[in-house]
Amino acid sequence: MFEIPDDLRYMESHEWTSTDDVARVGITDFAQDELGDVVFVELPEEGDDITKNEEFGVVESIKAVSDLYAPISGTVVGVNEALFDQPELVNDDPYAEGWMLEVEPADEGEFDELLTAEEYREQTE
Amino acid sequence: MIYDQARYVENGQYEPLLSEKETTEVDVGGDDSPLPDDLTRDSVELPDLSEPELARHYTRLSQMNWSIDSGPYPLGSCTMKYNPKFTEAVAADPNGSVHPDRSDESIQGNLELLYGLQEYLAEIGGMDAVTLQPPAGAAGEFAGILVAKAYHEANGEDRNEVIIPASAHGTNFASAAMAGYDVVELPSAEDGRVDVEALEAAVGDDTAALMLTNPNTVGLFERDIEHIAETVHDAGGLLYYDGANLNALLGRARPGDMGFDIMHYNVHKTFATPHGGGGPGAGPVGVVDELAEYLPSPRVRERSSGSGYELFDPEQSVGKVHGFQGNWLVLVKAYAYIARLGDEGLLDASAKAVLNANYLGSQVEFDIPYGPYHHEFAATSGEKDAADVAKRMLDYGVHPPTTKWPEMVPEAMLTEPTEIESKKSLDDLAAAFNNAAADDEETLADAPTRTTARRIDQVSAARNPRLSWRALGDDE
């Protein structure tokens, strides 16, 4: 079974976001397992704006290169630079040390449009 | 056949590289050099080896490597063909090795050969004009798309999309994106060919070009090609032919006659020159008349006086995409190959390429979901992991096919034996497929066991690449 924390919100394309004032964004346990060993992560820079449902970066594994889609719109205020040297953190700890972005949400109402943990779990089963 | 690959190991390490062997500091003098001091040195560190030791070093490396000179190498779409040695001999002729800046007048023989190759390729592809400049297939694609872009711009057309089938070679997407186009991906129809309805819905005022290979990447001929060409042309777009699969058509059908406006030729695939990964390559581009003035420069033409040849820059050329006239020695090999085979030989090559793929396909026990196929087929390893099957095939003394691509076939094994293999080689290949098919999961997961190196650590290689000999000491 894949880990799907109850307090996060999810996209069908397997990104997660917290619902904090500064929201953390990453990819799910299911996604990292499907991808296999992650070898490279490309992320926006601090100060960049991201737009809900649009690409914000790229994750590359030995199997595939995949676009990352923004679960919410907002301004990037933090980037997990540890991933540039240790992309394996995405595999080892996708919800904590493997986080990708910290985003100041433009519209907190967008959280409600995302999948709940239960809805996401149904999708992955 | 019993197969074991050579393995030379010293102190737990494969045959050391030259930079890892014992070295000697050699005095090179240089006091009387006219160069500034910071550009010269007094000594240089060189490997301390005798000539036989050096010869053994390279022989050992080649024995630990796999090449088409050691056995079958049926990589689908990558087309590994044997490089006939006579073309090497022709390219090695010192008479052809002239400085590329010499005057046209003094290199008439070279220009005649380049002109001849332009003409051969134009005839083979059904194109009107050819440039030999691009240094590889993908570079040819990029140059071809730049030509399309220059054409549209010259006509005052602002078109920003290139349409590419999902099953196309990855380079197509990259070439279009590098040229600044938005890529529109076209789904495949159920039969594995272009989804014509989806194409009709996708073309429009934004369409700059459709990039297509025919037969496509699972070996299927695009039967609707005339309708496809008409659809793209009616919308004002151009049709680009990816020459990667030209082998199936050689001497029998021509992209130009199907309505294609631009194409590149992979001379390493179709005309048996070495692959670019091992040195310089070539990816000539052919176009219809209307696009000729945009081709990269220089090209070669007959002098207006009617005697001899000259280099010229097409009027609205997109410019240079490589130095001088392109990679001369590769072009010489391609010319020699075409000239030696002639019309009859080229026809025979495409016939045998298709016959060999179909014979091999008939002998392989894995399912082949799409057909009828031509010069290559995409088998599926079904429940088995295609990568494991591929590794196991190495143990049976053959190189495996291209695996896990195209994605329209699950666990794909894209196989192209080419025209070079005999029935005996094809039977050996089939046996390798079928033996691997019969092996249990554990054996597959453990393979290969008879090769010099076993499973390569792809993750470490990707995460901690060491791209220069200087980094060899940087052990983690």
pLDDT over 70, % of chain B: 98
Q: Chain A: residue nearest B462 by CA?
A: A39
Pairing of strands B309-312, A101-105: unpaired
Judge residue B282's burial from the number of C-beta atoms within 10 Å of its C-beta, 0-12 exposed, 13-18 middle, 19 or more buried.
buried
C-alpha distance from A37 to closest chain B C-alpha (Å)? 7
Which residues on A lie below 8 Å from B462 (Cβ)?
37, 39-40, 60, 62
The interface residues of chain A toward chain B in range 84-113, judged by CB-CB distance below 8 A, are 87-88
Are A40 and B462 within 8 A, CB to CB?
yes
Backbone angles phi, psi at B239, to 5 degrees: -110, 125
Which residues on A lie below 8 Å from B459 (Cβ)?
37, 39, 62
Question: What does the angle CA B61 – CA B450 – CA B9 come to, to the nearest 5 degrees?
Answer: 40
Which residues on A lie below 8 Å from B458 (Cβ)?
37, 62
Are A88 and B462 within 8 A, CB to CB?
no
**Mean pLDDT on B207-222:** 96
Judge residue B175's burial from the number of C-beta atoms within 10 Å of its C-beta, 0-12 exposed, 13-18 middle, 19 or more buried.
buried
C-alpha distance from A57 to closest chain B C-alpha (Å)? 17
Residue type, B180: G
C-alpha distance from A19 to closest chain B C-alpha (Å)? 32
B336/B45: higher pLDDT: B336
Q: How far apart are the first and last CA of chain A?
A: 9
The pLDDT value recorded for residue B476 is 45
C-alpha distance from B463 to closest chain A C-alpha (Å)? 5
Give the CA distances from residue A50 to residues A25, A32, A69, B237, in Å, rounded to whole numbers and listed in that order.
11, 22, 9, 33
Between chain A and chain B, the number of residue pairs with CB atoms below 8 A apart is: 13
Helix B137-154 and helix B170-178: axis angle, to 10°? 40
Q: What is the pTM of this model?
A: 0.89
Q: Chain A: residue nearest B465 by CA?
A: A39
- Nearest alpha carbon to residue B475 among B12, B60, B61, B62: B12
Report residue B471's pLDDT band, with 50, 70 and 90 as the boundaries: confident
- CB-based contacts of A98: which residues, under 8 Å, 6+ apart? A26, A27, A32, A80, A83, A89, A90, A91, A92
**Mean pLDDT on B99-118:** 95
Considering only the top CATH level, what class is A9-107? mainly beta
Q: Long-range contacts of range B359-364, CB-CB < 8 Å, 24 or more positions apart?
A: B359/B423, B359/B426, B360/B74, B360/B415, B360/B417, B360/B426, B360/B429, B360/B430, B361/B415, B363/B426, B363/B427, B363/B430, B363/B434, B364/B415, B364/B430, B364/B433, B364/B434
Least confident window among B3-17, B20-34, B148-162, B214-228: B20-34
pLDDT over 90, % of chain B: 84
Domains of chain B: 5-65 (no CATH), 85-339 (3.40.640.10), 343-461 (3.90.1150.10)
Return d(Cα B239, Cα B259) in angstroms, integer.
7
Backbone angles phi, psi at B28, to 5 degrees: -110, 10
The rounded mean pLDDT for chain A is: 95
Residue A68 in contact with residue A100, Cβ under 8 Å? Answer: yes
pLDDT digits (tens, 9 = 90+) for B249-287: 999 999 999 999 999 999 999 999 988 766 789 999 999
The pLDDT value recorded for residue B474 is 61
The pLDDT value recorded for residue A1 is 82
Locate tokens 């737009």: which residue? A51
Least confident window among B83-87, B189-193, B445-449, B468-472: B468-472
C-alpha distance from B468 to closest chain A C-alpha (Å)? 19
ipTM: 0.74
B299 strand-pairing partners: B312
Does residue B174 carry a pLDDT above 90? yes
Are A40 and B459 within 8 A, CB to CB?
no
Report residue B473's pLDDT band, with 50, 70 and 90 as the boundaries: low
Does residue B320 carry a pLDDT above 90? yes
The rounded mean pLDDT for chain B is: 94
**Mean pLDDT on A71-92:** 97
The interface residues of chain A toward chain B in range 22-41, judged by CB-CB distance below 8 A, are 37, 39-40
- DSSP 8-state symbol, B280: -
Which residues on A lie below 8 Å from B386 (Cβ)?
none
Report residue B13's pLDDT band, with 50, 70 and 90 as the boundaries: confident
Residue type, B283: G
How many residues belong to chain A?
125
Least confident window among B30-44, B98-112, B126-140, B171-185: B30-44
